[in-house]
A = this chain, B = another copy of it.
Amino acid sequence: MSNLTLLGDQSVRYPTDYCPEILETFDNKHPGNDYFVKFNCPEFTSLCPITGQPDFATIYISYVPNIKMVESKSLKLYLFSFRNHGDYHEDCINIIMKDLIKLMDPKYIEVWGKFTPRGGISIDPYANYGKAGTNWQQIAMNRLANHDLYPEKIDNR
């Protein structure tokens, strides 16, 4: 794990804008069996590109590793880099997914953002991906087809 530069390094600075290059990986030690890893990220915030007002979301990232895995402290810093960056809800979710696909080349990944309301309405984008040439390509389509049949109860309080 000599390629990990962030974990255990106290002097690392937080990035000041969107910064995908801060993401780091380590090797999957269990390549013999497919398995899931989920990150629960309730501390996501970005800015509205039109009004500049802050947006807040909980983001759930779930993936099946291939050879590389994302290191969690670098993921924290990457998500932090949206803090003063302006993007729409749907774009944030798709961008996060694409950056992690590019980084890890995972077998499968999904990203679900659950934002707080503006004007009485909240928006929850969900995107997923399965690697071509694996059975996860079809699984991704199936998971999308069965996405969120039971929307959680929302009352804005």
Chain B residues near A155: list those with CB within 8 A: 42, 58, 116, 155
Cross-chain contact A90 with B69 (CB below 8 angstroms):
yes
Cross-chain contact A149 with B152 (CB below 8 angstroms):
no
Q: How many copies does the complex hold?
A: 10
A88-127 contact mask (Cβ, 8 Å, vs B): 1 or 0: 0011011000000000000000001010111111111111
| Chain A 130-154 interface residues, beta-carbon cutoff 8 Å to B | 135, 139, 141-154
Q: DSSP majority for the A interface? A: mixed
Which residues in A have some Cβ–Cβ distance to B below 8 Å? Answer: 7-10, 13-14, 29-30, 33-43, 45, 50-54, 56, 58, 60, 62, 64, 69, 72-73, 75-76, 79-80, 83-84, 90-91, 93-94, 112, 114, 116-129, 135, 139, 141-157
